[in-house]
Amino acid sequence: MLFKNFWYALADSDAVGRSPIKVRALGQDLALFRRASDRRVVALSDVCVHRMGSLAAGSVDGDCVRCPYHAWAYAGDGACVAIPANPPGTPVPRKARVDSYPVEERHGWVWVFLGDLPEAERPPIPSFPALDRPGWRAVRGEFTWRANFSRVVENAVDIAHTPFVHRDSFGNPDAPVMPDYEVGAGPHAVEATVTLPAREPRGVLRLVTRGGANTVRLAIHGASVNQLDSTFANGWSMLLLLAHVPVDARTTVTRFLQLRNFLTSPLGDGVARGFSLRILEEDRATVESQVPPFVPLDGGADLSARSDALSIAYRKLLRGYVERGWQLDPRARARALDEDGRLLVIPSPARRVAELERAWVFGEAPTLAPGR
């Protein structure tokens, strides 16, 4: 299960510079680099249309990236602007272009929109306003799963598993009963707030949780971003933004940004980062062994309980994206070639420009028809 038409946090901002780097998302390789003129990040489909060399293996020349094979130069909009082997004055073919994807830098990450929707119709990048407020300390990290992104996302909002899977970290095995809660839903988000009895704290958590109850706001943005805002019994808070990148149908990279308003000295960063990584590691065995490997969208495929209200809302959100025709055909992505042997790529917004309708060498990755 993979979806186009979403923003994905494909790299840390400080990892993208003047030398192109290769990243993979939705089973496709992309080349990221910064232009010399304005330092903006460019995201291009990684394959040169000439002899299919890797642009990420090339070099940046001003605002362009040059393929290492024959030095064809591609500008930020994906159009080839120079073919060194051609005599001076020779026009560049109209089809000498690759897909260029919209890019935004937010929260210290490079977000790339992988899809063909016009700007006004794109699901938004989630906001994280506490990042810019004084009194909060941020740490970052990364975690790789051998699992489909949908299982990872759903697991993050599954409150009923915490007393058992996380019994040695923050779950309370003495209070497994989950309270009823209301789910709020928007066009591209679902959320709920749950109050849970605090467990007897251990280790560093003795400084954070002291009896009473913890309140957690759980949210899912779009198809693949979680936000978990926890307020502990003593009033301190920890906020967590999880941007899950579907590398392919069976691999997910989670980039996390954790904010805390307590123990804000840099000396606490290692413990804070290690805590988030420990939670993810505790989840790994279950998430990576679930069958099927993706969240089933058929209501009768598995059985739900009252505590699953938020995950049920998430599945409804995904079904809506399927009905919009945003789910990539898994058979096509597995082989990445069409019946004529043409490479298939995620279509970019430029493919919906009338003048460029026939200006493409590579085919579009097909989506599943609604109802399939």
- Each residue of 28-57: pLDDT tens digit? 999 999 999 999 999 999 999 999 999 999
Residue 2 has pLDDT above 60, yes or no: yes
Q: Are residues 253 and 304 in the same domain?
A: yes
Q: Are residues 135 and 94 in the same domain?
A: no
Residue 325 has pLDDT above 90, yes or no: yes
In terms of DSSP bridges, do strands 6-12 and 21-25 run parallel, antiparallel, or are they unpaired? unpaired
Q: What is the pLDDT of residue 299?
A: 75
Q: How far is CA 41 from the centre of its chain?
A: 17
The share of the chain scoring above pLDDT 70, in percent, equals 94
- Each residue of 196-239: pLDDT tens digit? 877 665 555 555 555 567 888 999 999 999 999 988 877 788 99
CA neighbours within 13 Å on the CB side: how many for 65?
35
Q: What is the pLDDT of residue 17?
A: 93
State the Cα–Cα distance between residues 176 and 192, nearest whole angstrom: 18
State the Cα–Cα distance between residues 46 and 251, nearest whole angstrom: 19
Residues written for the chain: 372
- Each residue of 136-148: pLDDT tens digit? 999 999 999 999 9
Q: Is residue 251 part of a domain?
A: yes
Domain that holds residue 46: 1-119+328-372
Q: Is residue 176 part of a domain?
A: yes
φ and ψ of 78, to 5 deg: 90, -10
Q: Are residues 361 and 309 in the same domain?
A: no
Give the CA dihedral 349, 254, 337, 368, nearest 10 degrees.
-70
Find the mean pLDDT for residues 240-259.
Answer: 96
Q: What is the pLDDT of residue 203?
A: 57
Q: Are residues 111 and 157 in the same domain?
A: no
Q: Are residues 308 and 333 in the same domain?
A: no
Residue 262 has pLDDT above 80, yes or no: yes
Q: Are residues 317 and 337 in the same domain?
A: no
Q: Is residue 337 part of a domain?
A: yes
Q: Is residue 7 part of a domain?
A: yes
Q: What is the pLDDT of residue 112?
A: 98
Domain count, the chain: 2
Q: Is residue 21 part of a domain?
A: yes
- Mean pLDDT check: name the lowest of 102-116, 193-207, 305-319: 193-207
- pTM for the predicted model, two decimal places: 0.93
Give the CA dihedral 287, 28, 8, 149, nearest 10 degrees.
-10
